[in-house]
Amino acid sequence: MSTEVKPRPSEEALAERLDDEAHLRPDRRIVVIRPATRWPRLDIRELWHYRELMFRLVWRDIVVRYKQTFLGVLWAVLVPALTTTVYVIVFGKFANFPHGNIAYPVLTAAGVIPMQYFVAATTSSSTSLTANLTLVTKVYFPRIMLPLAAVLVPLVDFAIGLSVLAVVMVIFGVGPTSAAVLLAPAFIGLAIVTALGIGFLLSTMTARWRDVPYMLPVFLQILPLTSGVMYAMNEIPEKWQWIFSLNPMSAVIAGWRWAVLGETAPQLGQTAVSVTVAVLLFFGGLAVFRSFEPKFADTI
């Protein structure tokens, strides 16, 4: 009795067969497994396919954030309010930091709100892989969604915290003076891009070395001092302005104050330096994340 052995189809024939099946059943999604690319790119089509999972991840973290808390969402108001109060007393009254023509409480509140978003986004995204250990090791989904969701969640606190800034602006009679207010979301977008780039890098490092989250608070404690949260950036010597422009958050805060408070417009060259650094951080972090992504399940 003879057995006929069928030849193995070539890759070209297999690809043609998959294309035919896709045309016959366009509602069915066909997944072709290939080696993961290590180029710093975002697969928008794949992220869109998993958009419901993204929504679930974001909603889960928002619910957990306020579940079984005594004050609930009031924390999103109390934290920036108390921080602003401390900064006004310590740096405004005793240290007498420069603040230009804007009342110091308004200037400080406008710096605290975006900075606290950045700190929360960076902290959450840096541990996004280890905090979702079961998901990473058990099922497939775009791993990049974890730091992305971690960066989006603090936007809720940011939106709620804007009420603190609004109250301080009303008390001191300060408000937008030009159409520059329309650019305010662009500066928050710069903060999101920066936090996401750092999140890609730190989440990859945290998956390998668990002591990375312990070093992060040291960096975040000095960040407000180099970002202009407690003072007006245009009031310090110009050489320091250029040095601090290597920190993208300095452009975020200066631009945010210009758009919302009518403060002095940020220097174009310094802003360009900050944007360039933010873009390099984003694509550099994405490249590192993509390079180590195939090993996450084994090293985490």
pLDDT of amino acid 36: 55
Angle at 24 between CA 18 and CA 27, to 5 degrees: 90
Decide if 151 contacts 296 (C-beta within 8 A). no
Q: What is the pLDDT along the chain (300 residues), one digit of tens a residue?
A: 445 545 555 555 655 665 565 555 555 555 665 655 556 677 788 888 888 988 998 988 888 877 766 667 788 888 899 999 999 998 888 777 877 788 899 999 999 999 999 999 999 999 998 888 888 888 888 889 999 999 999 999 999 999 999 999 999 988 887 788 899 999 999 999 999 999 999 999 988 887 787 888 888 889 998 998 998 888 888 899 999 999 999 999 999 999 999 888 889 999 999 999 999 999 999 999 988 887 877 777
pLDDT at residue 108 in the model: 93
Domains of the chain: which residue ranges?
Answer: 39-299
pLDDT score at 5: 47
The radius of gyration of the chain from alpha carbons, rounded to an integer in Å, stands at: 24
Distance CA 244, CA 217 (A): 19
Three-class DSSP category at 243: helix
Structure tokens at 284: 């550099």
Quote the pLDDT of residue 53: 86
DSSP annotation of 236 reads S
pTM for the whole structure: 0.83
Helix %, strand %, coil % for the chain, to 5? 75, 0, 25
Beta-strand runs (E) in 80-160: none
Per-residue pLDDT at 99: 77
Q: Is 252 exposed, middle or buried (0-12, 13-18, 19+ CB in 10 A)?
A: buried
Query: Which one-letter DSSP state was computed for residue 227?
Result: T
The vertex-127 CA angle with 206 and 273, nearest 5°, equals: 85
290 CB-near residues (< 8 Å, 6+ apart):
36, 37, 38, 39, 40, 41
Nearest CA-CA partner of 128 in 188, 52, 202, 54: 202
239-242, Cβ contacts within 8 angstroms, sequence gap of 24 or more: 241/267, 241/270, 242/270, 242/273
Return the pLDDT at 260: 92
Tens of pLDDT, residue by residue over 51-60, are: 898 899 898 8
Buried b vs exposed e over 54-79: b needs ≥16 C-beta within 10 Å?
A: beebbeebbeebeeeeeeeeebbbeb
